[in-house]
Amino acid sequence: MTSPDLTEHAEQLTALASAFEALHARVRHLSYTPGTDALHQISPLLLTAQDLTATTLIRLRALDSSPYTSVPGSRTGLECLASVLSAASLASSDLTSALSANPYEGTPFPGHPADDATVRTTRQTEAIPKMTRHLADAAHQLDLSATGCHYLATGITRALAATRTAAPSTRRTTEPALTSAQFAALQSLARGGGRLYESSQRGLGVTRVAADDGTRISIATFRALAKRGLVHRDTSTSLFHGQKITVTAQGRHALAQPRPHAAPPTPTATAAKTTTPQGVRR
């Protein structure tokens, strides 16, 4: 289990909680008129709820396949996120029910009289309490979703803190020297900086490093540097916009050390030259 893994999961869950809170506020303060206006107002809320449900499923699968499962109490954490998935799905269902209860206008079949103003008003009046109830239920489920995400993110952060506390105090003296690739990456970040992104092209949950000077830095190399406290990233910015990476004082101290040499090639066995004494003629 590595610290960056836990940190990324906690940050992603916190961002997801904020998204649920924002949608909760939109649903709770929704103002609409039954009919076409309600359809236009509620439709984007439903689409957002469905997107958040899909994102929650992605987070659950990523967490279930991560080293987090070795943390004591992680089963309860996974169950918590599964309950968030259920609540998000119910919120989508409630928004769908609100659209189902919405009175729509249209032309009746031939032979049936068209609704007059009184009938339309009556249909709208009868629909409002039903729609209001469904919207209130959706807001409640979204509030539960946000709370669950915050709860799990806090639990992961505490697990990370406990892991750091339990680490031996002699960790720095026993760590292996930087590899040539790690030193080059640290040197690049110290020279021009860089950013950590969550790649939208490769799928949610996949991160990459973009160095400002164009140096290619693998995510494994970045995590190795972050684990040793040589680099720091600004978590106040979302991964979608890019989190700024800076080199710490400890990282600059590491750069002051002699540059590591690349591993020498494996020597090939060479046949030993033997000299055969020239025979003596008799």
pLDDT score at 110: 81
pLDDT digits (tens, 9 = 90+) for 37-50: 999 999 999 999 99
DSSP classification of residue 37 = H
Q: How confident is the model at residue 264 (pLDDT cuts 50, 70, 90)?
A: low
Question: The whole model's pTM is what?
Answer: 0.58
Q: How confident is the model at residue 164 (pLDDT cuts 50, 70, 90)?
A: low
CA pair distance 158, 240, nearest whole angstrom: 25
Alpha helices in the chain (DSSP H): 3-28, 36-64, 74-101, 117-166, 171-174, 180-192, 219-227, 249-255
pLDDT digits (tens, 9 = 90+) for 61-77: 999 988 888 888 889 99
CA pair distance 72, 76, nearest whole angstrom: 9
